[in-house]
Each structure stands twice: as C-alpha cells, then as structure tokens.
Amino acid sequence: MIHGHDDIPFFDDDDEPRKPAPRSGETSGQTGGLAARAMAARRAPEAPDYLTGLNPEQRDAVETIEGPLLVLAGAGTGKTRVLTTRIAHILASGRAYPSQILAVTFTNKAAREMKERIGILVGGAVEGMPWLGTFHSIGVKLLRRHAELIGLRSDFTILDTDDVIRLIKQLIQAEGLDDKRWPARQFSSMIDGWKNKGLTPELIPEGDARAFANGKGRELYKAYQDRLKTLNACDFGDLLLHPIQLFRENPDILKEYHRRFRYILVDEYQDTNTAQYMWLRLLAQRPGEDDGPLNICCVGDDDQSIYGWRGAEVDNILRFEKDFRGAKVVRLERNYRSTAHILGAAGKLIEHNDGRLGKTLFTERAEPDDDKVQVHAAWDSEEEARAIGEEIEQLQRRGELLNDMAILVRASFQMREFEDRFVTLGLNYRVIGGPRFYERLEIRDAMAFFRLTCQPADDLALERIINTPKRGLGDASVRKIHDYARARDIPMLAAAREMIDTDELKPKPRKALFDVVTQFTRWQELLETTPHTELAEIILEESGYTEMWQNDRSAEAPGRLENLKELIRSMDGFESMRGFLEHVSLVMDADQNEEMDAVSIMTLHSAKGLEFKTVFLPGWEEGLFPHQRALDESGRAGLEEERRLAYVGLTRAKRNCHIWFVSNRRIHGLWQSTMPSRFLDELPEDHVEVGETEVSYGGYGQSRFDRAAPFSNTYATPGWKRAQENRTDATRDNWGTRSGHAVERIGYGESGPRGRMIEGELVARSSEETASRFSVGDRVFHLKFGNGNIAAIEGNKLTIDFDKAGQKRVLDGFVTPA
DNA sequence: TCAGAATGATTTTTT
DNA sequence: ATCATTCTGA
C-alpha cells in the first residue's frame, strides 16, 4: 500500500522508508465514560503509547484512517491532539511516509505547533513532513515546482498587501480613472474576494465587474493579473488560484499528486474559503482506481466559524457529508477545558443560531464550588477598565499568574483603555496581534532593499525605496523611469541603468539615479561573495538608510533602528538572503516575549484556539458586540457570526469568565449611550450571576441587564450619522423633504428592549427625533461631566464647557437643561 | 520636492 | 479622538 520512490520519480524529498510499526488493536463501540476508556485499554493492551489516554471518540477519530472523515471538534475537546495523534498513527503504523501526508492549517503558528507535537509523539524521528503547512505555503511549494506551467518563473516574488495596493493604484491611474473615486484599497479587497471564491477575471459576475471603475472592473482585474505575470509575482490569492489552474490544466500532474498524497488532513475546516475548498477537492478527488482511496480528514467546528467576512464558507463544513460520499462524522463533545457553568452558558448562547451541525459540550468535571459566569455593569469604559484592573490585581494578590488571564475585546480600539489603565497601575500586559514585525515601515523598507538586490526585476521594491532616504528622485523622476521601462518592457532597474546615459532626466536626479543604480549593481555582485547578514548591514549602511533614522529626532526612531538590528539578527538562521525573503513573505510572525508574567489583551478573533484560566469579556453592548456593521452588512448571518464570536470568547475560559457592559462609550470621540448586548439575555440564568456593582444607576428593567435608561439611545453607524446630519440640514423645512435615508436597523424597536424585534430581521426604525433642543450658551447638566455651558452646536453634537471636566463634545441626548 | 494642512475613515486578520 | 493619506502652496 505504500508507494516507493519509483512511483513518484519527480519528487526529490521522499523520506527514507520507515519500519512499519505494529498495527494497533481495533476499537469500536465504546459508549463513553471512564469505564469505556478502561475497557478499551484492556481490549487492546498492545496499543501504542500515543493512543492511550485518548477518550473513545478521540480514539475513533484517530483510528478511522480509511475513507473520508469529518471530526467535529468542539472547543477544548482535544482537536489538535486528535490531529497530531492521527498523523503519528499513520506514520507509526507504516501506512505512509511523512512525505505522503498532506496536512493543511490556516496559520503558520498552527503548522509549527503541529510539527512540534508530532515530533514529540513519534519521538522526533520524523524529519520534516514536507507537506505540512498552511494552504499558502503549500501553494508556493507547488508553484515553485511548476511555475512555468502557469506563466511564471520559479523564483517569482510574493507581494504583500502594500505592494498590491501600490500596483493597483498605478493601474487605475494608467486607465485614466480617478483614483479618488476608485480607491485602490477597495479594489484590492474586491480582487481578494474574487480570488477567495476562485474566480479568475473571466469568471467574475457581470455585476461585480460593473461595480468598479465605471464598469471596467473586469478589465482592471485582468490588467492586474497581466501585470503580476510581467513582474514575475504573485499575490496571496494567487497562491491558491494558480495551483487550482495548474491542476485543472495538467491532469497528469494532478494525478502524480493523487498518488503521492495518501492521506489528507485539514485543520479548521470551517474556515476554508471557496478557493481552498476547490483546491482540496482537486487533490481529494480520486477518479481512477490507481489513484488510491480517498483518505481525507477534516477537523473543524462550525460553531467557531468567525471568518465569514474574509471569505470563509461555513457551508463547506456543513456540506461535508454530501461532498464526500460515505463520510463518517465523529463528534468530540467532551470538554476538558472549562467548568460546567461556562459550558452551560456558552452552549445556551450558541443554541440561538440556526444551521448548526449541533454539538453540546459537556464535562465530567463536577466542582460545586465553581463560579458562575459573572456579568458586570459599568458606567463607562473607563470604569470598566478600572474595575477589571482591580479584579486582576486582586487575583494577583491571591497568587494567580497574570499569564492565566486575558481580556478579549471585540474591536481593537477597546484595548487602549485597558493599556492606559494598566500602565497607571503598573500591571504587566501583552497585546497580542497588533501590527506585526514585518509590517513595520522600516522593516518593509529594508526588505525592499534586499528584494531589489536579489531580484532586479522587483519594480515594486524599487519604487518603494528609490527615493528613500530622500535623494531628489521624486514622483516625476519615478514616473519617467516607469514609463521608460514599460515602453521597452524591461524592469525599472534596467531602465534606470539605461537612462543614466540619456538626457531624459535633469542633471540632478540623473546623478542621484546613477549613484543608487551603481550601489545596487555593487550589492548584487556582493550577493555571491558576502555572507548575507553582512551584506544586509552593508546595504542598510551604504544606502544611508540607517543614517536616515539616526538623524531622525522623532520618538520612534530609536525603536526603528532597534527593529532593523533585530531584522538582521533574524537573518542569521537562514541559508541565504533569498531564503530569508521567502520566509518573510509567508511567515509574517512577530515574536512575543513569553517569559514575562503579563495579562494578555487581544481581540476575540485572535483568541481562537487559546485558553486562559480567567477571561474578561468587556464591551458586551449592542452596536459593539454584536457589531453594528456586521448586522448592517450581513444581517442575520452577521448576527450569527457575532454570536459564534461570543461563543468563542466564553469557551476560552477554563475557570472564570467575567462579562462586562457599559452604558456609555466614547466612539470616535463622541459619547454614546449604549444598550446591553442581546447576547447577555441569551445566557441561561442558572449559569450566570449578575455581579454587584458599586455604581448602580437604577434597577434592572425587563431584561436582567437593562437599566432604566434615561436617554434616548444613539447610534454610531455612518448611515445613522448621515441620517442625523440630513435631519439637521432639513430642520428648516421641518422634515418634510428629508432626502431620504431609510434608516434600517436590526434588533430593538423604537420603544427599546421592550419592543424587541425578531432577531436579525431588518426593521425600519421610525425616526421621531426632534431638532436640537439647545442653543449656544444654554446651561446644561451631563451625568458624567456635571454642569456646563454650551459653547457650540453642530447638528446633534454639542461642545460644552463643563465647570469641572473642561471642554467636551457630547451628543445632545446626554444632557438635560440644568 | 517637501512640509504643513485638509480630508477622511476608523470590526474582525491571515497569508 | 486619532491616525493615515492626500492635497496645496512655497
């Protein structure tokens, strides 16, 4: 059953054959519980080490090796363990060589972790697993092998979003279009969306094509793809699309891979987008007998699908059984992470979603002392941060580690408040998922120098740094070089070299260009002879780039220099500069210092897959969570995804979970009153406790979390703002001709929570707002800031000089005449 | 060509 | 409020 080297002549990375390990005993039919586990152990005494300690479902998932298998792995049910053990099992039982297993993950982190854990299981004997990686890195590997078949050279560059946007902008301008009206950023994300759906320019829907650039969307997309080919470059989407095209157009090559990949494993299947799905289908389809059986195992959790907004299709996982005939489904519902209260709360919440495959997590843990999920209220976000800070300090005093605590927010702007507070308190914190190391300006600049040295055809790199540091080669000069290069169909660096001998440029830029071209020529020569770290230093030094930052007096400059040093240090581990560049384009990871004991602050999205003993979930308010924009843009589906996000948040907690909501939040500089999240009402009472709060402001209303809100609620959405602005514009003619935005809203009706709508249904909200009741100079009272005088009015926004708090801008709904 | 001023957009994030 | 990008005038 194992193909030897001869079968697959064009692969050069086959591992040496391994001695097949004895096959494990068969297990079947356990009915759960410890007894079953014990029975299983007794029945198969010869079971290899790695299988012991798995529960019956896990073991089923590991040992169901043949045929399609979907593992529905709830949060904290040992998903990674199953995946890695399964691979170990395939290897140890001699069913395949490491190189015959295709294992795909979404992030580099997950891939790394999996490699590590397989290493531990199999005793480190397995070198590599050459086909374990992200969809993208495997895509690159395929493309480098077969580049010429899709019109690239195998040393193609991978562009990052920055490059892509600059490139698109050029194309938009080249089309003679207004790049204001048609932002490159927007088009770039459209292309991204298409590529996520597996759509090449010919395939995009007519409507999409018309929606951009005066109907030139399709042409523009095509032009973009052409330009990439010319540049010998790929964007991230291409790393998925090109392999699909490759396989479709070259059945023989596809067949080779069919033979090669005996086993396919996919992690986080609920996050696959259409292109990834197509990619997988191509590899998993086995039309011929000699292609071998279809051994695909997808692991995922439909309840944790939170990336719909970037193209993930939950439907892929929901459809699995239909897609793969005879598929077996194993549910992992036994949770090893959280208390029964946390699971109870999370489970009840997620039940409000439709279209689930249906799982109910349970635990065998029975600790009567476990705390319920706590819900707390605060007046505003400042107080929320203060209270959470206090709670954290208290836990710390009790000897808890900060490393065991996390604050999970919906949107990153919420982090600021916590950071500020923790700085004041002197509390260590760590922000996870901020701007990545390789995305920083100075790193990108440095990389552009390196790229252009290694790849003289990398025009985008050239454009980035040709005038950095300032050399007097501004837009005009760059444009000339660009046009010259385009006209002759040569790379810009080559064009620049030629232009030194012409009088296209004025003497000053010409001299500058001569200098910089000469430098690159020199560095290219050094590439062969000088160690790459040394060369990197030389480049940064000679280009004047280091000097530029040394002369920079701004606060960030020293940090940037430090980052540059760090960049060079990190090159050490690579063979060559080229190897380093490849790594960077795909593995954009920054390292966090793990040693420090610190509270983690991150978004709910980046918390997926992590766990903490104590979790704080601030900001459970309508509009923020669920996020208004998710509701506006995706309606019910958006709401359900938000709910899954809440589910992810809750299930990160092992022991304690504290949810917070506030009644006033400042968004974009304006104070807004907020309503408690509908998700709070969806939590079951028996697992939730409403925490006592120092600052109470009236009792709870109909909803347990509802205070008697003295203010009309306001919304922060662009649409709502616009409506309000229109309103003020139209006050003169008394609403009559308000040029109409129909304000549609999900959730509460005009009478507040009492008039709650059916979830997710779009409902027109009647707008009964009156014109501002105030005029400049009025004396008013604000609950947070106290008394003050109105200094200015713009629409419904009041600028008020408060007696104590100074000048603030607030919405008029917040103040009452004093 | 560059610096300061206006403009605008601010969910979530990977690769 | 805040940040990034783009525009305008020197």
Q: Which nucleotide is nearest to A441 (CA to C1')?
A: C4
Average pLDDT for A757-764: 26
For A188, the token pair is 């770039």
Confidence of residue A793 (pLDDT cuts 50, 70, 90): confident
Confidence of residue A92 (pLDDT cuts 50, 70, 90): confident
> Integer distance in angstroms from CA A481 to C1' C8?
25
Whether A524 is a known active-site residue: answer no
Task: State percent of chain A over pLDDT 90.
Answer: 45
Q: Is A299 in a helix, a strand, or coil?
A: strand
Specify whether the CB–CB gap between A782 and A800 falls below 8 A. yes
Whether A363 is a known active-site residue: answer no
With a 7 Å cutoff on the CB, does A668 touch strand C? yes
> Integer distance in angstroms from CA A753 to C1' B13?
33
Confidence of residue A46 (pLDDT cuts 50, 70, 90): low
- Write down which residues 89-118 in A have CB closer than 7 A to strand B: 106-109
Asked if pLDDT for residue A705 goes beyond 60, the answer is: no
CATH class of A344-436+592-690: alpha beta
Higher pLDDT: A587 or A97? It is A97
pTM listed for this prediction:
0.81
> Integer distance in angstroms from CA A162 to C1' C4?
14
> What is the C-alpha separation between A748 and A764, in angstroms, rounded?
10
> What is the C-alpha separation between A754 and A733, in angstroms, rounded?
33
Specify whether the CB–CB gap between A231 and A459 falls below 8 A. yes
Other CB atoms within 10 Å distance of the CB of residue A368: 5
Confidence of residue A16 (pLDDT cuts 50, 70, 90): very low
Q: Among the ranges A160-164, A225-229, A592-596, which has the highest mean pLDDT value?
A: A225-229
Confidence of residue A549 (pLDDT cuts 50, 70, 90): confident
pLDDT, position A17: 38
With a 7 Å cutoff on the CB, does A416 touch strand C? no
Lowest mean pLDDT among A72-86, A291-305, A548-562, A664-678: A548-562
Q: Is A97 in a helix, a strand, or coil?
A: coil
With a 7 Å cutoff on the CB, does A627 touch strand B? yes
Lowest mean pLDDT among A236-250, A673-687, A693-707: A693-707
Asked if pLDDT for residue A39 goes beyond 80, the answer is: no
Residue nearest to nucleotide B11 (CA to C1'): A411
Taking Cα atoms as reference points, which of A253, A236, A232 lies closest to residue A587? A236
> What is the C-alpha separation between A323 and A254, in angstroms, rounded?
20
Task: State percent of chain A over pLDDT 70.
Answer: 80
Taking Cα atoms as reference points, which of A420, A485, A430, A419 lies closest to residue A458? A485
Angle separating helix axes A557-571 and A441-454, nearest 10 degrees: 40
Residues in binding site of A:
73-80
Whether A80 is a known active-site residue: answer yes
Q: What are the angstrom distances between the C-alpha of A785 and each of A598, A811, A814, A815? A: 33, 13, 10, 10
Confidence of residue A42 (pLDDT cuts 50, 70, 90): very low
With a 7 Å cutoff on the CB, does A606 touch strand B? yes
Specify whether the CB–CB gap between A139 and A243 falls below 8 A. yes
Whether A79 is a known active-site residue: answer yes
Average pLDDT for A298-309: 94
> Integer distance in angstroms from CA A412 to C1' B12?
9
Asked if pLDDT for residue A251 goes beyond 70, the answer is: yes
pLDDT, position A554: 74
Q: Is A700 in a helix, a strand, or coil?
A: strand
- Distance from the Cα of residue A733 to its chain's centroid: 47
> What is the C-alpha separation between A143 and A152, in angstroms, rounded?
9
> The domain at A439-572 falls in which architecture?
Orthogonal Bundle (1.10)
Strand locations in A165-204 (E): none
Residue nearest to nucleotide B12 (CA to C1'): A605
Q: Which nucleotide is nearest to A435 (CA to C1')?
A: B13
Higher pLDDT: A347 or A368? It is A347
Asked if pLDDT for residue A767 goes beyond 60, the answer is: no
> Integer distance in angstroms from CA A327 to C1' C3?
51
H-helix segments, A530-556:
532-542, 545-550
With a 7 Å cutoff on the CB, does A717 touch strand B? no
With a 7 Å cutoff on the CB, does A809 touch strand C? yes
Q: Which nucleotide is nearest to A134 (CA to C1')?
A: B15
> Integer distance in angstroms from CA A209 to C1' B11?
26
pLDDT, position A775: 76
Q: Which nucleotide is nearest to A603 (CA to C1')?
A: B12
Question: From the candidates A64, A80, A524, A693, which is the catalytic residue?
Answer: A80
Lowest mean pLDDT among A147-151, A550-554, A604-608, A741-745: A741-745
pLDDT digits (tens, 9 = 90+) for A500-510: 888 888 888 88
Other CB atoms within 10 Å distance of the CB of residue A400: 16
Question: From the candidates A37, A79, A560, A644, which is the catalytic residue?
Answer: A79
Average pLDDT for A139-168: 91
Residues in binding site of A for ATP:
73-80
pLDDT digits (tens, 9 = 90+) for A357-375: 889 999 998 888 899 999 9
Average pLDDT for A677-694: 86
> Integer distance in angstroms from CA A469 to C1' C8?
23
Lowest mean pLDDT among A486-490, A684-688, A718-722: A718-722
Q: Between β-strands A762-764 and A373-380, what pairing exists: parallel, antiparallel or unpaired?
A: unpaired
Q: Where are the domains of chain A?
A: 50-151+238-332, 157-231, 344-436+592-690, 439-572, 778-817
With a 7 Å cutoff on the CB, does A631 touch strand B? no
With a 7 Å cutoff on the CB, does A669 touch strand C? yes
> Integer distance in angstroms from CA A473 to C1' B2?
12
With a 7 Å cutoff on the CB, does A236 touch strand B? yes
pLDDT, position A795: 64
> What is the C-alpha separation between A649 and A619, in angstroms, rounded?
12
Asked if pLDDT for residue A725 goes beyond 60, the answer is: no
Specify whether the CB–CB gap between A481 and A499 falls below 8 A. yes
With a 7 Å cutoff on the CB, does A531 touch strand B? no
With a 7 Å cutoff on the CB, does A180 touch strand C? yes
Q: Which chain C nucleotides are covered by protein, judged by CB under 7 A?
A: 1-2, 6-7
> What is the C-alpha separation between A440 and A561, in angstroms, rounded?
12
> Integer distance in angstroms from CA A410 to C1' B11?
7
With a 7 Å cutoff on the CB, does A229 touch strand C? no
Higher pLDDT: A709 or A702? It is A702
Higher pLDDT: A342 or A290? It is A342
> Integer distance in angstroms from CA A343 to C1' B13?
27
Yes or no: is domain A50-151+238-332 CATH 1.10.287.130? no
Q: Which chain B nucleotides are covered by protein, judged by CB under 7 A?
A: 1-2, 10-15
pLDDT digits (tens, 9 = 90+) for A254-270: 999 998 999 999 999 99
Average pLDDT of every residue of chain A: 80
pLDDT, position A668: 85
Q: Which nucleotide is nearest to A645 (CA to C1')?
A: B12
Q: Which nucleotide is nearest to A479 (CA to C1')?
A: B1
Asked if pLDDT for residue A439 goes beyond 50, the answer is: yes
Lowest mean pLDDT among A390-394, A511-515, A603-607: A511-515
Q: Which nucleotide is nearest to A472 (CA to C1')?
A: B1
pLDDT digits (tens, 9 = 90+) for A616-656: 999 999 999 999 999 988 899 999 999 999 999 999 999 99
State the DSSP H helix or E strand holding residue A746, giving kind and residue range, or none if neither: strand A744-746
With a 7 Å cutoff on the CB, does A633 touch strand B? yes
Residue A322 buriedness (CB in 10 A; 0-12 / 13-18 / 19+): exposed
pLDDT, position A473: 82
Higher pLDDT: A707 or A488? It is A488
DSSP3 helix / strand / coil % (chain A, rounded to 5): 50, 15, 35
Same fold, A157-231 and A439-572: no
pLDDT digits (tens, 9 = 90+) for A166-221: 888 888 888 877 777 888 888 898 999 999 999 999 999 988 888 888 888 898 99
One of 3.40.50.1100, 2.40.50.140, 1.10.10.160, 3.40.1260.10 is the CATH number of A157-231, namely: 1.10.10.160
With a 7 Å cutoff on the CB, does A137 touch strand B? yes
> Integer distance in angstroms from CA A293 to C1' B9?
52
Confidence of residue A225 (pLDDT cuts 50, 70, 90): very high
pLDDT digits (tens, 9 = 90+) for A585-614: 777 665 566 678 999 999 999 999 999 999
Q: Which nucleotide is nearest to A808 (CA to C1')?
A: C1
Average pLDDT for A384-410: 95
> What is the C-alpha separation between A358 and A694, in angstroms, rounded?
40
With a 7 Å cutoff on the CB, does A594 touch strand B? no
Question: From the candidates A63, A267, A404, A458, which is the catalytic residue?
Answer: A267
Average pLDDT for A17-24: 37
